[in-house]
Structure 1
Amino acid sequence: MSCHNKSIKLVVVAGPVGTTPREMSRAFIFDEAFMLAKKGLTVHVVRSSLFDHSYEVSYGIHFHNLGGYISLDAFRMVIKNLPKYPAPSLLRKIYLIYWENLYASRVTTIIRRTNATIIHAHFAYPEGFVGLLAKRETKRPLVISVWGRDVQADPDSGYGALTSRRTADLVREALSNADAIIASALNHYWTVIKLIGDHERQKVFYLPPGIDTSRFHPSINGSVVRRVLGIQEDQNIVLFPKHLHRIYGVELLIRAASKVVKEHPNTIFLILGDGPLLSYLKSLTNNLGIERNVRFVGQVPRSLMPFFYAASDIVVDPTIFGQGYAALEAMACGKPVIGFRTGQVKIADKLSGYLVEPYDIEALADNIALLLGDPELRRQMGKNARMYVERNFSLERRINMLINIYDRILGQL
């Protein structure tokens, strides 16, 4: 533990992050905070939980909540900050503006109480903008990590902060005034530079996401999952480890499944997660006549995810913006992954899995069927996948790079 690291005191603006490694909500932020605390940094996480005044120390991290909804400090900040809001953002509902300032006032209080040295906000909006409001109050440097929905737009579903000018301007305002910006995907890196201008490129850093390869490992035994779900050893499992929202492409996978089972009728598609599409997807499954091949499992605690990866033969991440942490976790567990060739690509095509063109159900089905029919190819791709993650997505390396960025910022003060 470095004595120098002890001098770095972080206040992390993290929204609804979980307080243990068992929780799914923004688990990647928890992992990062946990590792920073292990390195000797003091880490205070300010969550967005309203009406919760509790404070706890969990896994070496100090967790604070938003507390009550009525705050004189928040009202004062609204009055002070309104003239600085981009004009289109003022057309939103007033309670959103109040909530941003309420959150910022709580962050400001924690900074002053703990004498924190850096604000680190995860997602440019709302957390990054909240961090900016707190920076203006405390004069502390601001680091923003962008993760996807804050720098993406899907007009069809309304997904992404850039879909609306009212929030897009707040994203740009937060990023333009940040002291450092961290992108975990190259397409996000270039989007950020486009938003803030090439002249600000020196403050934008590409840090590949980090996976805990000791937790997600090929040696894990997934037989308990098969036993609990009543899946036989001679039945192949195709795992969908995301959420039941349009952007995650689960409908595309189910339509592909209807083609796959014609050739591989003994295959089980395990669909994890909850979401607004659940009823529709169950109806679709019945209409396609594959209800015996598709199991809707619901939300799985993160602590159990390694066992679900271990039980599977193939993992599919058909997110329309590219692959996320789930794909990397699956590859760390030695599983081949199939996804779309778009956005934040994590799969090494034909090495750790397959990339297909977005929305191409036929290609998705063909590649699933190809892997189902070739156990040796699955085994080799899984082995490649593990090595690929170890080489390129080390959590330890990411944390060390992040601390170097903190040092650089503090050295400029």
Structure 2
Amino acid sequence: MTDDPKRVAMISVHTSPLEQPGTGDAGGLNVYVAETAKELARRGIEVDIFTRRTTGETPIVGELVPGVRVLHVTAGPYEGLPKEELPGQLCAFSAGIMQAGLSLPEDHYDVVHSHYWLAGQVGWLASDRWGVALVHTMHTMARVKNRHLAEGDRPEPRGREIGEVQVVEAADRLVANTEGEARELIELYAAPPRKVSVVPPGVDLTTFTPGDRKDARVALGLPVDGDLLLFVGRIQPLKAPDLLLHVAAELLRRDPERRRRLTVAVLGGPSGTGLARPHGLEELADELGIADVVRFVQPVQRPVLAQWYRAADLVLVPSHSESFGLVAIEAQACGTPVVAADVGGLPTAVGDAGILVEGHDARTWTDAVEALLVDEELRLELGRASIRHASGFGWDATTDRLLAVYQQAIHDRTHSPIAEGEGLVGVPRAVIP
């Protein structure tokens, strides 16, 4: 059998690549799955993406592009089921995948690629049932997130940690976004180094392109002159959008005249623990006395998102934890400088083309932002460096590396713990009475 895959089964239980990134549970994972699937299809590789059906109107089978099918599996109620409750539906989801596979030849798929730990649990079973290699991408990890919790945020449950450990053991190959994430897999999850491959995510270099800032502002109905600070992402404590508002308040405290020329835009929707206070940011803007300069914008399609990036003077990415940071690389591809937290994969995403800030002290962040706002030449220089940096992160390069991982997994496939005699998940058969 050749090591070149002809058909790939991707699994993304909790969010569909068809959903709008920036709200609910849709984010960088959605973009990653959709873009790599499309790139694989361009290479003549068929991709089936299995995801949970969340509305009765959603077709069972849809097409993302020719060669990429999205198969919606019914598992639990369509609406009102948060991600935290999805572990209880993994059996139903797995049964749905097995049912879908009954009509396929036994050797139909060459590799299973699961995304996020929930999908990894399902992928473990599917790869064993189909006798093919399992490749897994964590995207985020409980033990990492729990080390960098925002104040008042809820830690990830121990059940998720256990589930992630099991997936690490079961996978034939683990894909890490950065060298730092690879170290975390090895040090925090005891992943064998030989199983871990680094594959940086990409950016759509045909959509996220440089453009005229004033033209972008006109198109978006924004003031042509003045300073625009932008946050893009899901509204939840992990992403720290509140820091942007505190920075804006501090800027106005230092220079009240700046109010006439400052606009702060928060583009995204509530998600995760942020759903507990869906209007928390609006309330914070009122408390800080900056509601008049803040705009809250619902998630938009990517061509419009690119216009927002072009319109901004600076994009802030203040996350407490980030496996990579697609927002940062998208903004840079549009020529907009990024000020980001020095955490997780953001140093890789930002490189030397942006500013990294340690910690989440509002005054420290304000110092960095203010320095760039008053130095137009430095902003322009960083903008040019950003374009050069982002040019090396196209999805074609990501998919080339991903294909190499698939080939290695197919060639070196090991037996999963199920096949090696573990009758219960994580429990050797010898200890079962």
TM-score, scaled relative to structure 2: 0.80
Does the aligned pair in 2 maintain the 1:239–1:271 contact within 8 Å? yes
Question: Taking structure 1 as reference, are residues 194 and 337 closer, same or farther at Cα in structure 2, changes over 3 Å only?
Answer: same
- Tell me the CA shift for residue 350 of structure 1: 8.9
Match of 1:101 in 2: 91
Does the aligned pair in 2 maintain the 1:66–1:103 contact within 8 Å? yes
* 1:242 has 2:233 as partner: yes
Question: Taking structure 1 as reference, are residues 151 and 132 closer, same or farther at Cα in structure 2, changes over 3 Å only?
Answer: farther
Match of 2:52 in 1: 48
Q: Residue type of the partner of 1:235?
A: G
Q: Residue type of the partner of 2:296?
A: F
Does the aligned pair in 2 maintain the 1:260–1:365 contact within 8 Å? yes
Report the Cα distance in structure 2 between the residues aligned to 1:369 and 1:215, rounded to whole angstroms.
Answer: 29
Match of 2:268 in 1: 273
- Tell me the CA shift for residue 6 of structure 1: 7.8
Q: Percent identity of the aligned residues?
A: 22
Does the aligned pair in 2 maintain the 1:207–1:401 contact within 8 Å? yes
Of 64, 86, 99, which aligns to 2:71? 64
Question: Taking structure 1 as reference, are residues 23 and 247 closer, same or farther at Cα in structure 2, changes over 3 Å only?
Answer: closer
Q: Residue type of the partner of 1:58?
A: L
Question: Taking structure 1 as reference, are residues 285 and 344 closer, same or farther at Cα in structure 2, changes over 3 Å only?
Answer: same
* 1:232 has 2:236 as partner: no
- Tell me the CA shift for residue 137 of structure 1: 2.3
Does the aligned pair in 1 maintain the 2:10–2:48 contact within 8 Å? yes
Q: Residue type of the partner of 2:65?
A: Y
Match of 2:371 in 1: 370
Report the Cα distance in structure 1 between the residues aligned to 2:75 and 2:222, rounded to whole angstroms.
Answer: 47
Q: What does residue range 3-402 of structure 1 map to in structure 2 within 5 Å?
A: 7-15=5-13, 16-19=15-18, 25=26, 26-50=30-54, 52=58, 54-60=60-66, 61-67=68-74, 69=76, 98-114=88-104, 115-123=108-116, 125-149=117-141, 152-154=144-146, 156-159=152-155, 163-197=156-190, 200-218=192-210, 220-221=211-212, 223=214, 226-227=217-218, 230-261=221-252, 262-263=254-255, 264-265=258-259, 266-275=261-270, 276=275, 277-322=277-322, 324-346=325-347, 351-391=352-392, 393-402=393-402
SS of aligned partner of 1:119: strand
SS of aligned partner of 1:335: coil
Q: Residue type of the partner of 1:65?
A: H
Question: Taking structure 1 as reference, are residues 255 and 158 closer, same or farther at Cα in structure 2, changes over 3 Å only?
Answer: same
In structure 1, list runs of 5 or more residues that go unmatched. Answer: 71-92
Does the aligned pair in 2 maintain the 1:8–1:117 contact within 8 Å? yes
Per-residue CA shift, 1:287-324, capped at 9, x if unaligned? 22212211111222234211111111110000011461
- Tell me the CA shift for residue 165 of structure 1: 1.8
Q: Higher RCO, 1 or 2 (CA under 8 Å, sep at least 6)? A: 2
Q: How many residues align?
A: 379
SS of aligned partner of 2:279: helix
- Tell me the CA shift for residue 110 of structure 1: 3.8
Report the Cα distance in structure 2 between the residues aligned to 1:176 and 1:272, rounded to whole angstroms.
Answer: 38
- Tell me the CA shift for residue 176 of structure 1: 0.6
TM-score, scaled relative to structure 1: 0.84
Does the aligned pair in 1 maintain the 2:203–2:394 contact within 8 Å? yes
Per-residue CA shift, 1:223-243, capped at 9, x if unaligned? 565336542211221110112
Report the Cα distance in structure 2 between the residues aligned to 1:247 and 1:288, rounded to whole angstroms.
Answer: 21
Does the aligned pair in 1 maintain the 2:121–2:163 contact within 8 Å? yes
In structure 2, list runs of 5 or more residues that go unmatched. Answer: 78-83, 414-433
Which moves more between the two structures, 315-324 or 330-339? 315-324
